[in-house]
Structures are given as structure tokens and as C-alpha cells.
Structure 1
Amino acid sequence: MEKQIRDLAIFNTYQNRQVILNFYKDSLLIKREAFHYSSLEIEGDCLFFYKNKEHRYTLSLKEYPIRVIGSDFQHYYVFTNDRNRAEIYFTN
């Protein structure tokens, strides 16, 4: 069963990893990002990824009001709205 994310601080534990971001529109994969990062910061509704103190990627979560911990995989999160979905996988 999926558990709703109430506090984005859950992502503070994910440092020095690889992340895979899959973006879907109407259930079709439209974009994929995968990269290594050294730190992740949370500011407002954004996740900022850094590699060696240089900005690497920003994920805005404003358009995804429903945020859950996915039950299909370990370190898997799903953010959705009516038509779009972003999936985040953290690996070691």
C-alpha cells in the first residue's frame, strides 16, 4: 500500500546517489533523466540536485499535489496530478 508523503524532508537522507526521474503524460513516458549527484536540497516545492556543489537539476513539485511512497520498489516515489506523473528512483 502506498503511503502519502506529508513532509519533503524525507528526501534529506538521499545523498551521494544516482537518481532516475521518469515523467509521464496520460500514461505515456515523455521524458527520462538519470544522473549521479552528491547532494539534494529541498526549498519550497522543489528538489535541487547538486554534483560537487554545482547545480545539476531542479525538480519542481508544484504541479504534482499527490505525493506518495511507491510500494513497487525500494526508494521509489510517485508524484501525480490529474494527467501527469513523475516517478523518482534512488539507487546507491
Structure 2
Amino acid sequence: MAPPIATFPASELPITSQTNLKGTKRKGFDGDLKACALLEMLQYDCRIEEPGRRDSPVRCWPVERLFRRCRDQEGSFMVETTAWERGEKGKKD
């Protein structure tokens, strides 16, 4: 079983991304995710329509995931920003 992972609102991602895996503040990164390169990955969510039937069709739907590749003094790191990006699109500048 995977260890529990702390959850937080997408709006806190710029603050949370300033902490590295060791729990210390990243040096050389101020949390400006918009300055990081935007990357996209397309995955698929597939379901068997009737699991009890041997010849049941499988239906798949695309799932878009967004990431930012950022840099700090130790090198580059990736942050999944899918929920954050969607929340940003709904805000007016």
C-alpha cells in the first residue's frame, strides 16, 4: 500500500511547489509556475462495458494532464498542474 499523501487545494500549488521532497524550501525557485515550461500528456481512461461478457467492447476516453518543468539550484523538477491550470483559466487577469 502506498504511503498517505497530503492533499491541498490547487490554488496553493505555487506555495507548495516551493518545497522539495526533503521538506525544505527550494533554493532558486520563487513559486512562479507561469515562468516554467508547460508540458502536456494525454492518457486514456478505458472501461469494459460489460465485464461479465467475454466479447464486451472496451471504451476509452482521453484524459489530458498538464505539467510544468521548473528549475531550482539543484536542477529541473516537474509539477503536475492540471487542476491549477484549469482554475487559472476561469480567473480574469
Between 1 and 2, higher relative CO (CA 8 Å, sep ≥ 6) is seen in 1
TM-score normalized with structure 1 length: 0.29
Report which of the two has the higher share of strand. Answer: 1
Report which of the two has the higher share of helix. Answer: 2
Larger Rg: 2
